[in-house]
Structure 1
Amino acid sequence: MDRTGSKGVAYAEHGGCVVKAVRLFDFIQFDGGSWQVVAQDGSELALKNLATNRIRRVPAVDLLIDDSYLPDDPRPLPSLENAAALERLSPAARDDVLALHGHVHEVLHGLPPGSSPGSTPKPEYDLTNPLQARIAAKLTELATRGIAMTERTMFRHLADYRARGIGGLADGRATRQASVSGRTDLRVLALIEAEVSGQKDVSTGTRSRVIARVRAAAAKSGLDVPSDATLYRILKKIEGSRHPFGNATTRRTQGNRPDRSWGRQAPSRPGELVEIDSTPMDLMVVYPDGSSGRVDLTVALDIATRTPLAVILRPVATKAVDAALLLARAMTPLPMQPGWDASLSYSRSVLPQGMLPGDEDLRSAIAAKPVIVPESITVDRGKVFIGSTFTAACERLQISITKAAPRTPTDKPHIERFFAGVNSGFTQYLDGYTGPNTVRRGKDPAAEARFTLAEVQNLLDWWLVAIWQNRPHQGLRHPAMPRKDLTPNEAFAALSSVAPQVPVALTRDDYLSLLPIEWRRIQPYGINFHGLHYDSPDFHPYRGVPSGLPAPADGRWEVRYDPYRLQAIYVRDHKKGRWIEASWTLTTHLVGPFSREVLAAAKKALDRRGETVAGRDLLAEINRILTTPAGRAERQAAQRTHLTPAAVPAPEAPSRPVVDPALMAPVPIQAPDPVVIDFPRRRHGRRIDLLED
């Protein structure tokens, strides 16, 4: 008997039970002294100090719950370990145990179990008879019922019942636990385990391949191998959830699980922990040149509230500037982001009626979405997140960065679950959905694609604020309501009441400061930015004037630009401490937001024709893409946007009408230079309105 516990509380272990008790005249340890219980008055005990003979009155309850109390001889209780033994048996085995229990109980107590008080036992089972006589009578009774049992067996049942209760009467074969290997040599079992573990990174094979390799390895070691049937049974028990003979992708994913119990991150306030990651989206969209392709989705997700702080879509692999821009958008509400209103207006004009709500409904939904300032960000080790652009932005904003383990997506499980939620709740309802893998992919998702990247971006922004933020999430539960799932907006409200956060949003100047930077000279016509001309009336004092900035500027001016919204660039006027917004000189020719991918598409078209990428040729190619789709892919893209066909203007015309979908009326736009382009075998064309990426 061990009389001291981990906290100094006395206990006694009898058959697995821990009991605390006190009796008269017990010698006990209490309150740092030795005492004897000398009297009891109701619920109070009189304790005599053995060192000073002082009498102390203590309630019995206070004595038993005190950590310093050590009892003299606790009263044991029978073990309740097998109280639920019948629940672990099959119905047939349970009926056999209950029948045997009735006979054993009658032999020991004279009456069957469940007899009413005052019942008289049968004469042969009267407790005045010796136990052996009662056993003999019971064996005779069983023999008349056709049940053969020896006296030795009955004595064994009585002993098991006294020691373990009704659970001791169960047949050991019904409760015996079978091992994985049975009687197979443990060294052979180790060979099988090694072969199953080795299937993680190899191509999927069959079980017969594993068995053949196990037999070959066992032959080298001189081990006896059981039959194939036994090896197949062992394999079935060892496989578990590792999928050694299933899909290779699933097997590698399961292999990334930690060899320990799952941990749980429980941030107590919004912004305490944010995860950022990118993944290819299961959707085909229309590119600016009329072709179709997939896009990357980059997200910053707050763990405490499951609120996506910012999302960015782009048709190519994410660059380092995208991570910094994601951080800027996370801390800037949508209406405050330069160029967002123009993008939304265009998407509303070309999308089917009702897909995007009106300005009032949209802004009310955006206002309900919380603005959260990140404190700590968990990222993977990709170049996009460990580059100097992103780390410098986090350092400036005093945001700590935590790097996940290499090739361990389980370090960011919440954002991986968010990606799955976007696919199930949003992506699969759009035309061009590709499915999670080739097995579930349609015949030609590229031909079904009809939405451009800017349209999908605006639709996703609306879905996040209207649907995701108001949908209950299983990972958001309050301890007082463990069965009630909260929405991200409700979780933010609950946490903000306990740990209030001061709403902070970046200003327009702060937002522009996080955009990528380049250096350009202000020419008399404006700024030439990647072959595109930008101009502003505020350039008048600086045309042809050096900025005076040292290297790397070398007299050029600082230019900031949004890679996804190239309708305008932003030039820093360091002399007056302001930003000058310069618009693209051909922006009136373009209804939708323009992006750098249009420029890339024009250059590719010139490269395919073997022409030089000169400024005049490049602008001509951009005008061709914007106004007259020539190729089959471009014509299909024009049909997907549901735009009215527009006649191709004559090259020598000094001006030409451009359809503004917001006004649905021709607006005469003066062309800067007439560009003569020869399109053989072309009679009619349709305009492609290009969207941002």
Structure 2
Amino acid sequence: MPGQVLEIRIGEKLWLDGQSWLIAAVGPTSVRLTSAGGTHRTAAIEELMQSATALGGPIDGDADVKALGSVVLSGLTKGQRDRVDREVDVLSPLLTAGGGTRRNIEAAAEELGISVATARRRLARLQEQGPAGLVDPRLLSDTRRSIDPRWDEACLGVMASYVTASNPSRQTIIRKANAAFLEAVPDGVVPSRTSAYRRLTELDKGRYTFGEAKQRRSVSKRPQGVLGQLRPTRPGEYILMDGYKLDVFAMEPVTMRWVNTELTVAMDLYDRSIKGIRLRPVAAKSADVASVLFQCLTPQVWGRGPEATKGPFSGVPEHVVLGSEGVFPDTIVIDHGKVYMSQHTFGVCRRLGISIQPAIPNKPTDKPALERFFRTLRLSLLDQLEGYKGPNVYERGKDVEKGAFYYVSELEQIIREWVGEVYHRSAHRGLRDPHLPKVDLSPEEMFNRGIEVSGLLRLPAADDLRYELLEVAWRQIQHYGIDIDGRRYDAEALNLYRGRRSDYGGAHAGKWPFHVDVDDIRTVYFQDPENKAWHPLQWRLAPGITAPFSKDAADYTRRASVRANRHVDPQQAVQDLLVRWQRDEVLGRRDKVLAQRLATQEDVETRLPARTDDESPDVIDFMTRRAERDADRRDHPSDLDVFERYYEKHPEGGLEVFDE
């Protein structure tokens, strides 16, 4: 097969890097080349295999280059391939020395049922191209190109304009594509209606022009070209962090409000195991991110009771992880949300030596493993819970919030148990050993493999690590203790520092730092500057609270306590409500509903004069009003028996109905 073999020997000419070269010398691993202009160069054998072409053979960009034989043969059906193999068996003996005689060619043509001339042409193609030369080119030609490619370009341009717009109809896209095509090609022919619809379906594949708008916008933000990928080599090298608005309504236990919740998750990219979660009503805060970071550094219990699952640390060989506190993350990939980019989060990571790598905004492909986890959580657990509302308003049921519900703390506990008992023990198609690519591993098994291969990076958690992750409040130490948001804390540890200024400078010069856990404000923590010991300071009202009392609950209680007209006299409340109706100042939801109902009723004061009690001039005398109403009814007898009295006087009569 001439042109398909590059012979490396002295005196041969070849084409390399845009010019002709003559082989002057041949070595074991390289050759010496000389150009017509007298230039000399040395080229490796590997370089010639990749870039060089024999002169007289096909070169890159040649229009006559045929498809690879393997591609042509693999595109045939079984029947077509059998016919080609039969022709090869018959014609191959004719290529041997002395086999291509006229008598042999005629015998082969008769056996194949073709003419002698056709047999000679197929024999030549077999010699030049191999078995692929015997394939009819029409079998692999594209038979669907009846539509002008320029119409496809116009259609793609129209669909691209609807990425951020509302969903269009297919006929709208076709109509605009036809107009754009005819404007660019006045003499062009637009496809028929059926062909246009069929072609539009092909072009829209993967674009979701007629699907969910959110998914369409997400797909449009995918990077073009080759997708990069973080390739961790051991557990703890990359930790992904992100938040997710749960598709389940929950009840806030203190305020008794229906709330949405946001789940903050930290995932190890190496084994897809969950290192920490935090569920917060409405929206996450920087303290929640710090709490999840702390969970990443300490073993987590994903359940209740002494037999609860202990995350990916269970089942690890004892000699590897004996006494270890956890895998310390090197790099954390975070979202661009305010809570992730806060000074609190940066300060904690800087203190612990963790590198922060923010993801690109509005690009879900930067954290695909977490996005897939959120989908698994919704399909595997959330859609089976009470209060599930669906991922969007189109899939939401009616009056979901009126059914059963879970408190926020209960919902978080359910998710933690699901992570430990289901997720960590389920096989993932994305977790595979390169040596056994067909075996799917679970996060626990992948963690075990990573520890066996690379060993565990041990970093015991420091005693003050928990306090490092709490929020700091700067206060003066008074004789009664300290005051934080209206709550007073005190302990004997403050005795030496009451009324004294601290040695701290900066924005809070002279004040003392106190660490506050926003999820349990019953206790704050103070570090003695002399011996560096930590002391808890108890809130004075804490003995009356048995469960953790969060800062959000305290803020709600404080707002409720200072709200105007919180405790009122019932009679005075009625009068105030009537005044607000007249002034159009009904702002509460219940007041608005009641006002709308009364607005559809007839005003009583326009029919009857109002009388008031002399002792209480501002209160209506309902007893007097009732007596007047009864007297008014007696003055107007009922007319319900009018038809009976009419028939008694006119027994032969009847009623005539006029239909105009």
Is the shorter-chain TM-score for this pair beyond 0.5, marking a shared fold?
yes
- Relative to structure 1, the CA distance from residue 80 to residue 201 in structure 2 (aligned partners, 3 Å threshold; closer, same or farther) is closer
Q: Specify the alignment match of 2:378 in structure 1.
A: 423
The count of aligned residue pairs is 517
Shift of 1:205: 0.7
Residues in 2 aligned to 1:574 and 1:135: alpha-carbon distance in whole angstroms = 103
Report the AA paired with residue 279 of structure 2: L
TM-score normalised by structure 1 residue count: 0.64
- Relative to structure 1, the CA distance from residue 138 to residue 306 in structure 2 (aligned partners, 3 Å threshold; closer, same or farther) is closer
Shift of 1:506: 2.8
Residues in 2 aligned to 1:541 and 1:29: alpha-carbon distance in whole angstroms = 88
Superposed, 1:536-547 pairs within 5 Å as: 536-542=491-497, 547=502
Residue 130 (1) aligns with residue 103 (2):
yes
Q: Specify the alignment match of 2:168 in structure 1.
A: 205
- Relative to structure 1, the CA distance from residue 129 to residue 157 in structure 2 (aligned partners, 3 Å threshold; closer, same or farther) is closer
Residues in 2 aligned to 1:528 and 1:30: alpha-carbon distance in whole angstroms = 85
- Does structure 1 retain, via aligned residues, the 8 Å contact 2:502–2:512? yes
Q: Specify the alignment match of 1:407 in structure 2.
A: 362
Q: 2:263 aligns with which of 297, 304, 322?
A: 297
- Relative to structure 1, the CA distance from residue 385 to residue 219 in structure 2 (aligned partners, 3 Å threshold; closer, same or farther) is same
Residues in 1 aligned to 2:75 and 2:497: alpha-carbon distance in whole angstroms = 88
Residues in 2 aligned to 1:473 and 1:12: alpha-carbon distance in whole angstroms = 55
Asked which structure has the greater CA Rg, the reply is 2
Residues in 2 aligned to 1:194 and 1:135: alpha-carbon distance in whole angstroms = 55
Superposed, 1:365-514 pairs within 5 Å as: 371-514=326-469
Residue 236 (1) aligns with residue 191 (2):
no
Shift of 1:186: 4.0
Residue 311 (1) aligns with residue 277 (2):
yes
- Does structure 2 retain, via aligned residues, the 8 Å contact 1:432–1:448? yes
Report the AA paired with residue 274 of structure 2: P
- Relative to structure 1, the CA distance from residue 446 to residue 12 in structure 2 (aligned partners, 3 Å threshold; closer, same or farther) is farther
- Does structure 1 retain, via aligned residues, the 8 Å contact 2:248–2:387? yes
Report the AA paired with residue 88 of structure 1: G
**Deviation per residue, 1:176-196 (Å, 9 max, x gap):** 1346xx254443332222112
**Deviation per residue, 1:257-287 (Å, 9 max, x gap):** 2211333322112221111111111222110
Percent identical across equivalent pairs?
Answer: 28
Superposed, 1:472-621 pairs within 5 Å as: 472-523=427-478, 526-542=481-497, 547=502, 549-550=504-505, 552-553=507-508, 555-606=510-561, 609-610=564-565
476-485 or 436-445, which moves further after superposition?
A: 436-445
Residues in 2 aligned to 1:539 and 1:272: alpha-carbon distance in whole angstroms = 42
**Deviation per residue, 1:79-118 (Å, 9 max, x gap):** 9954685653346655765777787679999xxxxxxxxx
Q: Specify the alignment match of 2:247 in structure 1.
A: 282
Report the AA paired with residue 227 of structure 2: W
CA RMSD of aligned residues (A): 4.2
**Deviation per residue, 1:607-665 (Å, 9 max, x gap):** 665459xxxxxxxxxxxxxxxxxxx99xxxxxxxxxxxxxxxxxxxxxxxxxxxxxxxx
- Does structure 1 retain, via aligned residues, the 8 Å contact 2:240–2:370? yes
Q: Specify the alignment match of 1:226 in structure 2.
A: 190
Shift of 1:256: 1.9
Residues in 2 aligned to 1:279 and 1:364: alpha-carbon distance in whole angstroms = 21
- Relative to structure 1, the CA distance from residue 367 to residue 150 in structure 2 (aligned partners, 3 Å threshold; closer, same or farther) is closer
- Does structure 2 retain, via aligned residues, the 8 Å contact 1:32–1:68? no
Shift of 1:584: 3.1
Q: Specify the alignment match of 1:644 in structure 2.
A: none
Secondary structure of residue in 1 paired with 2:522: strand
| Higher relative contact order (Cα pairs below 8 Å, separated by 6+ residues) | 1
Residues in 2 aligned to 1:487 and 1:251: alpha-carbon distance in whole angstroms = 32
- Does structure 2 retain, via aligned residues, the 8 Å contact 1:284–1:449? no
TM-score normalised by structure 2 residue count: 0.67
Residues in 1 aligned to 2:509 and 2:353: alpha-carbon distance in whole angstroms = 31
- Does structure 2 retain, via aligned residues, the 8 Å contact 1:93–1:174? no
**Deviation per residue, 1:584-624 (Å, 9 max, x gap):** 33334333222122223324544665459xxxxxxxxxxxx
Shift of 1:303: 0.8
Residues in 2 aligned to 1:333 and 1:106: alpha-carbon distance in whole angstroms = 73
- Relative to structure 1, the CA distance from residue 382 to residue 467 in structure 2 (aligned partners, 3 Å threshold; closer, same or farther) is same
Q: 1:214 aligns with which of 177, 181, 190?
A: 177
Structure 2 spans left out of the alignment, 5+ residues: 15-24, 33-44, 55-65, 317-324, 568-588, 591-660
Q: Specify the alignment match of 2:593 in structure 1.
A: none
- Does structure 1 retain, via aligned residues, the 8 Å contact 2:105–2:119? no
Residues in 2 aligned to 1:431 and 1:513: alpha-carbon distance in whole angstroms = 37
Residues in 2 aligned to 1:475 and 1:221: alpha-carbon distance in whole angstroms = 46
Residues in 1 aligned to 2:165 and 2:103: alpha-carbon distance in whole angstroms = 72
- Relative to structure 1, the CA distance from residue 156 to residue 221 in structure 2 (aligned partners, 3 Å threshold; closer, same or farther) is same
**Deviation per residue, 1:283-310 (Å, 9 max, x gap):** 2211021122121111121111222222
- Does structure 2 retain, via aligned residues, the 8 Å contact 1:333–1:505? no
- Does structure 1 retain, via aligned residues, the 8 Å contact 2:491–2:537? yes
Residues in 2 aligned to 1:207 and 1:503: alpha-carbon distance in whole angstroms = 59
Report the AA paired with residue 380 of structure 1: D
